[in-house]
Structures are given as C-alpha cells and as structure tokens.
Amino acid sequence: MAPDQPQPSSSMKLAVLTSGGDSAGMNAVVRAVVKAGILKGCEAWIVREGYEGLVRGNLEAEAPFAPEPLPEITMKLHDPSFIQNLRFGDGELLRDGTGDHPGGRSLKGRYIVRVGWDDVRGWFAEGGTLIGTARSAAFRTPEGRLTAAHNLIIEGIDALVVCGGDGSLTGADIFRSEWPKLVQQLRADGKITDEQVTRYGHLRIVGLVGSIDNDMSMTDMTIGASTALHRICEAIDNINSTASSHSRAFVLEVMGRHCGWLALQASISAGADFIFIPERPPKVNPWEDELCEAIKRHRAIGKRKTIVIVAEGAQDSDLKPIHAEYVKDVLAERLGLDTRVTTLGHTQRGGRPCAYDRILPTLQGVDAVNALLESTPETPSYMIGIRENKIIRVPLMEAVEMTRAVSAAISEKDFEKAMSFRDPEFSDSLQGFHIVSELETEKKLPLEQRMRIGIMHIGAPAGGMNAATRTAVRYCVRQGHTPLGISNGFRGLLDDNLHELSWLGVDSWMARGGSELGTNRTQPDIDLGTVAAKFQEYNLQALFMIGGFEAFTSLLILENGRKYYPAFHIPMVHLPATISNNVPMTEFSLGSDTSLNALVDACDAIKQSASASRNRVFVVETQGGRCGYLATVGALAVGANIVYTPEHGISLDTLRDDVKFLKRRYMLDVKGKSEGRIVIRYDHLTCVLRLCLINACNEQKRGRIVGIYHRCHHQILKEEGGSLFDSRQASLGHTLQGGVPSPMDRARAVRLSLKCMAFIEKHHNLMLQQPTKSRSADRESAAVITIQASSVQLVPVDEVVAHADMKNRRGKRTWWEGMKELVEALVARPQLI
Ligand code: ATP
C-alpha cells in the first residue's frame, strides 16, 4: 500500500456520505476524506444518513457559526485558510448525538453539513458510522435524485465520496450519469440559475466499498470485512472452549448472502470442521452423508468438539437453502451429538475497527480525494479498491457488474463460473480449508515419496507460528509424511528434543499465541557439525523453519554448510514469522498483523487515558529492532501525531520541530477540548537520542543541552510542553507479540504453510530422480517463502541476501516507505512547523 503524491490545492467543496449496511472503517473513511480534502484546499462536508440525507437536504438555514478567534499565536502561520479549517471543528458536533452544539452549530434539520479538521478527530477507534447511514427508497426514484441534485447545488457541493456496498455504488453511478439531465431539469424548473448550471455541470463522484462481506469484485478487500472476521473469530474462539468442555457440536451462522468469504476465512482461522458457502455447495448431494462422514472421522480419533460454519446464503447444488437449524438436526439425529446453533448476526458488524480497517480506509480515502481532484467529465466514476497491496482505481460500474455476475452465476447453478469471478486466493483458501480440516488417510503418497520433515520455530514468538505448524502437520499426515516437531530450535535439536506430532495433537494450535514448540535465537553455527550429525541421526529429509531474521540467517548457514555436510542436501524452507516484519523481500511476515492489532488496542486504551486527563502526550515505544514497520504502519493505524522510525532516526532539529509542532497544535485546540496525543517511537531511540545530545554537548557546550541529555524522551517533551501539555511514556515491549493471533495471520499461516509443503515435496521428488549415492540439493531447494504484491514466491536464500541490509537486519526496500509522510500530513505537521 503506497501513499499518494501531493496534489495542487483546489477550492472544491467535497462531501462524503456512508450508505447501505454499516461497516467498521467507515468513520476512518470520513476522517481521511475530510482531512485529505482540507489539506488539498477544499471545503469538507458530510452528508448525514446516506442518500436519505441528500434527498432531505437542509430544511433550515445554517445557524451562523464562526470559530472562536485564533488564540495569540506568536509564530508565523504558513496557511491561514488551513488554520481556519482546523479551527472550524472542535470534535463535538457529530459526536454528541443531540444535534445541539454549544458552539452555535446545529444538526437539527440539517443533513448536509460543513465540517472542520477536528470534527473527525479520534474517529479511527469508533465502529459503525458516526454520520449515519440509511437505505433510502426516495433516492431510488428519479424525483428523489432530482431533489438530491438540487440540495447539492444549493449547498455548492461539487464532489461526492460515497462509501457503501454494491447498491450504494450503483446509486452513485446512476446519479452521476443522470447528472447533466438533472441539472437541465432544475434549470427548466427555475430552481437554479444559469451560473449554477455552468458551475455545477459536472458532478465528481467516487466510490469506496464499505461492506463486511468482502463481496465486491475487482478489489481484494472491502472496508469492514476484516473487522467482521475478527468478531467472528473471537466468538468461535470463545465457543471452542465450551464446546470442548461439553464435547458439543456448534453450528454457527455467519453473514454472507452471496459471498462465502467471511465463512471461509473464519473456518480456516478458527479451525472449523465443515463449511457451507454459496459459491461452492457440498460435492455430494444429498450432502448430509458427506457432513456426517467427516464429523464421524474426527470424533473417532477422539476430537471432543465440532464446529460447522454456515454462510447466510449457503445452499446445496439444487439451490435449496442450507439452514443452521437443519444442520443441527442432522448432527443431533444422525450422530447423536449435543448440538447448538449460534447465529452471530449483528455482532459481526459492530465493535472497534481492527488495524487493517483503519489503514485501508485511510489510504483509500486519501486516494478518493485525489481521484475527485483529477476527475473530468470524460473520466469514468471510479471505485477505489486494493489489489496486490496497492491502492487502485477501477471503473465503478465494471466492478458492480462483475459483482452481480457472481450472484447470477450462482442462481444459474454455474458454480465454476461463480468461483472464477473470485480472486485466486479464494480458491486457494477453500482448498487449504479442506486439506487442514479433513482427516483423509486414504490418499497417502507412495512410500518412497514420503519424508521425515523437521519443523522448527526460530527467534521470538509471533502470531501464526502455531497455525503454520498445525497446517504443516495435518498436511504431512494426509500425505503420509512424518512431521517431527523440534522443540527449542537448534538448541533443542542438539539436545534431542524432537517428537512426532499428530493430527489431533495440534488441533487447538490455530488460535494459540506464542510458540507451542518453543523457540530461541540459537543459530545452527553454534555447532554445525553436530547439527548435521543430528539431521543424519533422525533421518531428516526436509526442514521447515518458521521464524524471523534468525530463521533466514539459519537457512543461509545451512545452505552454505551443504559444501561440507551432505546431511544438508535436503529441501529446506523458511516461512517468515516476526512482529518486526524485517525479513527481506516479503511484504508480510506471520505475526505482523497480530502485533499491529496489539499496538492499536494498546494505543486506544492509552488515548482514552490521555484524553481523560487532556493535554497529555503519550510517548509509546514499540518493538521492531531496526525495522520501522511496526512503528510506521502502527502510527498510521492509531493516528499518531509523531513517529520516529529506525530508518529515519532522530536529530536535534527534528526534536525541536516536533516540540514546536506539538505546542502549536495544543495552542490551536479549542479551549477545554484538547485531546491526548500519541507519539510512536521505536525501541532503540533512547540510545540514538542520547548520542545526538552528547554530540551536541561536545560540539556546542550549551548548558541547556547538558541539562537535558540525562532526561528521557518524554521528559524532554514534558519540560518543553510547559503549561500546554504534559507527557508520559508507555513501553509496550513484549505485549506486542499479541495474545491471540489475528485471523489474518492465521489464514496467511495456512496458505503459506501449504505452499511450503508443496515446495518441499517438489524438491524431494526432483532429488529422488538422482542416483541415490550422489544426491545433491540445488540452490533453489533452500528458499524463503515471500509475499510480493498478491503473489507468493519461494526465493532461493542466496537471492534474498542480495535484498538484505544484513547490518541493520532488514530489507533494503520496504513497501511502507513514504507512509511516515502520510502520518505527518494527516496531523498537519508540515502546516504547523
Ligand atoms: P449492503 O452491502 O450493506 O447491502 P448496499 O450499498 O448494497 O450495502 P443497498 O440497500 O443495496 O445497500 O443500497 C443502499 C442505498 O443505495 C439504497 O437504499 C438506495 O438509496 C441506493 N441505491 C441502491 N441501488 C440503487 C439504484 N439502482 N438506483 C438508485 N439508488 C440506489
């Protein structure tokens, strides 16, 4: 995901609305659009209650509102119009819910409202949509849209951002295509002037997809889907323990009328036993036999709980709906299981947005404003999506039509076609679910192709390590391989700490944080010869390492060791798992999403405390070594005011500017409405800061610097803040490893782990083709699995080295480069220093 380039400023008035079913992240969209709009010189407006608000418009004249006069600011203001926009909002108007506002602005009878910078502050952490949403019957009629057009023109709005599902985006496209006709009609009716016809002849419109179902084509993710998945997985994790205690079966109904994404990802992430989704009905019809057979097999080996997930729109191949209640009856009557149904319903929509649903809408909201500024009558209405981790624009109607084609294919029973409209990850995931959930013992490989595969965790624990191990073990069992868990990394191997893992033994590992195998940072060169001897002794025919930078360097050592030790001539693969996300060439490591969510949770709590005491700056210290992923992306996800990254470091000049920025920001807060603010810094910053203060002392011998160099970062801020703000520090340390792995990390673990297993088999089979006595592994057979854009690639370890900054233990290039500037832009740092 890359932030955008700055655009020229404009005098445009742009409005944003949320429509259809609400989804987490809609508030972040509004926040991003308002802030990006103001930064580009636009006036920002919101439309309350979706299209219904457009149709209702403003029934009363706007109550006069003038922001309080600017406080005495002694410094030079670069951009007075920006400061005015900043002062326009105080963060209370849309939050108090009563419509009355002590500052003189009122929402009563007003649906199209101008907002300022601070009106949207802190919106990140709120679920749903604070500007309201609705399903508007009136907007579906030509008369309703004519009134809506009139209302927009009266208020002088010339650009609209619509965030909603496919219905809302269809409405947006119809509105824009009809716009010239509507303007002519309004002129003919004498409702607008000729100047208005000229000024508002072209409506700029752009769509963002807010939908928990992830059902929109041409984008990999929709806003809110990720949070909904969090809610579902939390529920299933909770149900798992009670199901196991009572040896019960649970049938869970989740949302998804035409799209099984939520059900599928939840089934994978929560380790469910069976799934029903609309796009892929059960293979066997009647399906009841298939379900009972699968569950019977699990129970026969001692599994105490059963989880079946049913998407709202699930059906059999004759399009007969499959209801959770009926599935329950089948399990209870045929298998005698004590079965309960849980319908998650609207709990899936609610709650605080997860990290992804703060970052995605922010990046898309910023791009939406750019798209509006660049829009001409000739350009189509765009939908802002995400593909291959990059924000993209696609013609809105094409995306809507493709989405509708999926439902049409399902209703024509053409399930292959329906699946083909989903992205390749969807079918990968479905296949992955079957592999890890089915206890299949009849399809084992021929004896000579079976292997003894060592599985090891290396480095610090990271969310998803156990899920990856569970997946590998289940795949091994299915294929007839022997999965050998090596406890405590290479140290454990030297201590003969190995044991065979079983299908049932890893059943509960999906949702477990930490490392079930045990992990440490020991590298194989601690005693390479003995490591090779152990490989031989245990007849290891492949090695699967899950871990961070140390796992990568371990693989490198083993590959180099092939020159001397034949035991290393086996396929070896490294699956990156580290909260630092510092393994070169991969955009995401397992654990990187979990830690981001841990950071967001912690910062939400800290912000609450900071807001309660007002005027407090919290300096939050993250982990991440010398890699700025967690600090930078985390800062965007929590709306931090300042971020220090290892890549950018710190200097006395930056510190001086930061203090200046904070002071000006607090001075501009409306009296009594200040808020807590977050500064994110990486863990080694103190040493760097001390060093630069010592250097400054040495060079300048300035008493003041000598005075402060003993103090911590937050103490310097506190001292400089004077009466304006106070400062405290919070070091998040190991809490960032997260308790329970996020659904995204779990699903990723399954997908990547299966690809690693396929890689190992491929290279093993290649080696089998060589004469037994002189078998040697080629360089390609020691690889790191990487995510590059949307593709997964296994890259030989020596090639990864070329992309590594070995000294700083990180990649030479990172996809989050430039995000620091976006963090700073969204708090107006450049405008205020
Ligand atoms: P969800 O995915 O939650 O259902 P959605 O955006 O698809 O969200 P809809 O109820 O289909 O939800 O649409 C929301 C609103 O968009 C409608 O209430 C209506 O005002 C407008 N809308 C939908 N389809 C059209 C259309 N064909 N013409 C004009 N307006 C439409």
**DSSP-assigned letter for residue 469:** H
- Domains of the chain, CATH where assigned: 13-221+353-404 (3.40.50.450), 225-345 (3.40.50.460), 440-590+741-808 (3.40.50.450), 593-739 (3.40.50.460)
- Binding residues for Mg(2+), as ranges, are 166
Cβ of 170 below 6 Å from ligand 1? yes
Per-residue pLDDT reduced to its tens digit, 628-667: 999 999 999 999 999 999 888 888 888 889 888 998 888 8
- What is the share, in percent, of the chain residues with pLDDT greater than 70? 90
- Candidate of 135, 178, 213 to mutate for ligand 1, largest count of ligand atoms within 8 Å of Cβ: 135
CA 107 to ligand 1 centroid distance, Å: 24
C-alpha span between 2 and 817 (Å, rounded): 8
**How far from each other are the two terminal CA atoms of the chain, in whole angstroms?**
27
pLDDT confidence bin for 78, thresholds 50/70/90: low
Q: Which of 100-109, 220-229, 300-309, 385-394 has the lowest mean pLDDT?
A: 100-109
Per-residue pLDDT reduced to its tens digit, 80-101: 677 777 767 767 777 665 555 6
CA 741 to ligand 1 centroid distance, Å: 35
CA 208 to ligand 1 centroid distance, Å: 13
Residue nearest to atom 13 of ligand 1 (CA): 167
Q: Which of 5-19, 506-520, 522-536, 611-625 has the lowest mean pLDDT?
A: 5-19
ipTM for the complex?
0.97
C-alpha span between 433 and 170 (Å, rounded): 34
Helix (DSSP H) and strand (DSSP E) numbers for the chain: 28, 25
Per annotation, catalytic residue among 213, 215, 220, 593: 213
Cβ of 119 below 6 Å from ligand 1? no
Q: Catalogue the E-assigned strands of 623-725.
A: 642-644, 677-682
More confident residue, 625 or 434: 434
**If you search the block for the tokens 């500017």, which residue do you land on?**
657
- Binding residues for ATP, as ranges, are 21, 135-136, 165-168
C-alpha span between 304 and 688 (Å, rounded): 54
pLDDT confidence bin for 246, thresholds 50/70/90: confident
Q: What are the structure tokens assigned to 352, written together?
A: 């605080």
Q: What are the structure tokens assigned to 519, written together?
A: 């992990």
Degrees (nearest 5) of the Cα angle 638, 644, 646? 120
| Residue-averaged pLDDT of the chain | 88
125 pLDDT higher than 80: yes
Q: What atom of ligand 1 comes closest to residue 23's alpha carbon?
A: 3
Q: Are 759 and 794 in contact (CB under 8 A)?
A: yes
72 pLDDT higher than 60: no
Locate all alpha helices (DSSP H) within 412-539, ordered by sequence: 415-421, 424-437, 465-479, 489-494, 528-537
C-alpha span between 424 and 107 (Å, rounded): 46
- Residue 508 identity (one-letter amino acid): S
Q: Which of 31-35, 161-165, 281-285, 813-817 has the lowest mean pLDDT?
A: 281-285
pTM exceeds cut of 0.95? no
C-alpha span between 684 and 703 (Å, rounded): 25
- Residue 521 identity (one-letter amino acid): R
**DSSP β-ladder status, 112-115 and 43-47:** antiparallel
Cβ of 404 below 6 Å from ligand 1? no
Cβ of 210 below 6 Å from ligand 1? no
329 catalytic? Reply is no
Cβ of 51 below 6 Å from ligand 1? yes
C-alpha span between 168 and 702 (Å, rounded): 62
Phi, psi of 614 (to 5 degrees): 50, 165
- For the purposes of burial, counting CB atoms within 10 Å of the CB of 808, is it exposed (0-12), middle (13-18) or buried (19 or more)? middle
C-alpha span between 761 and 475 (Å, rounded): 11
Per-residue pLDDT reduced to its tens digit, 204-233: 999 999 999 998 989 999 999 999 999 999
C-alpha span between 485 and 5 (Å, rounded): 48
C-alpha span between 685 and 681 (Å, rounded): 7
The arithmetic mean of pLDDT across residues 250-276, rounded, is 94
